[in-house]
Each structure stands twice: as C-alpha cells, then as structure tokens.
Amino acid sequence: MEDLFEGWRQRLRGAGYRLTRPREAVLEAMAESDAALTAAEVHRRARQRYPSLGLVTVYRTLDLLVGLGLVHRLPTEAGDLVYARADLSPHGHLLVCRVCRRAVEVPCWGLEEETRALEEQTGFTIQGHWLELFGLCPACQGEGEEG
C-alpha cells in the first residue's frame, strides 16, 4: 500500500497538483482499499486521518484521481457511483461483490477481437472500455447474503 500511495503522490506532483493534507487523506483511504467505495465511504475513512475533511474535497479529489487514471468511477446496479483503484483492473475488467463491494480484476479473453469488430461495424475508434460484473464474493456467499 505504501508503494502505491507514494506512486500516487508522485503522479499528482508530476501533474502539477499540490499535495494538501486533505488530498493525502483521500489518497490513503483509496490506496488501502481493495473494495469499490462510495464517496461517503471514502469521506468516512479519510476523516480518520484528517477530521475536518469536507465531502466536497473528497469529490474533487476523486475526480482528480479519475482524471489521472488512478481510480475508476463505476456505476452500481442501484445507480450509485463507486470508486475503485485502477490498479485492481488496469483495463476496467472488474468483478464487484454486491454486498461488501470488494473488487477483483477478471480476465476478459476475446475482447480485443470484439473491439476491432465493433470498430469496423460502427466506424468508431474505441479508445477505452470498462466491464463490470456484479455478484457475491465467496465470503458473502458463506454468510447467506442475497444482496
């Protein structure tokens, strides 16, 4: 986690952004989580490090992290937004637990061929993609959760 956090700090500095204590609290909260988090959950976790942190700062910092490609913003089945570390799935292929929101990278074989076929069919130049699958992780299945 420390290497990831330090890498993010360097990436922000390199992009010309100041590393304020509130931003660092948000970075730490995201870097230590292997789950997809809502902005409110990031806020709650980051306030343990910086108690006066405002929710607006959390949203702005998350937007910054998304813009730098460090975090993915993902819609949930319920229509909410959650944020997951991009290193969990650099190509946007995630399996997210519906109960605990733990996110794991999943391989997606054959998608490159499908992408090329879609480009030929539509004339689009596809520049990126996300694939989110939702289900129950083994731990939540064991607890009898249905989501």
Whether 41 shows a pLDDT value over 80: the answer reads: yes
Whether 124 shows a pLDDT value over 90: the answer reads: yes
Helix (H) or strand (E) holding 57: helix 55-67
Whether 146 shows a pLDDT value over 60: the answer reads: no
Weakest mean pLDDT among 2-6, 78-82, 83-87: 78-82
**What's the average model confidence in pLDDT over 93-118?**
80
What is the average pLDDT value for the chain, to the nearest integer?
86
- The closest of 103, 106, 100, 104 to 141, measured between CA atoms, is 100
**Are the beta carbons of 91 and 108 closer than 8 angstroms?**
yes
Name the CATH code of domain 2-142 (choices 1.10.10.10, 1.10.3720.10, 3.40.50.2000, 3.40.50.720): 1.10.10.10
Q: What predicted TM-score, i.e. pTM, was given to this entire model?
A: 0.70
Weakest mean pLDDT among 16-30, 110-124, 128-142: 128-142
Taking only the tens place, the pLDDT of each residue in 102-113 is 777 777 777 778
Tell me which amino acid residue 23 is.
R
Sole residue written with tokens 């997951």: 84
Residues 79-98 as b/e (b if ≥16 CB within 10 A, e otherwise) read eeebbbbbebbebbbbbbbb
Strands (E), 61-108: 71-75, 81-85, 93-97, 103-105
**Are the beta carbons of 86 and 33 closer than 8 angstroms?**
no
pLDDT recorded at residue 27:
95
**What's the average model confidence in pLDDT over 68-96?**
78
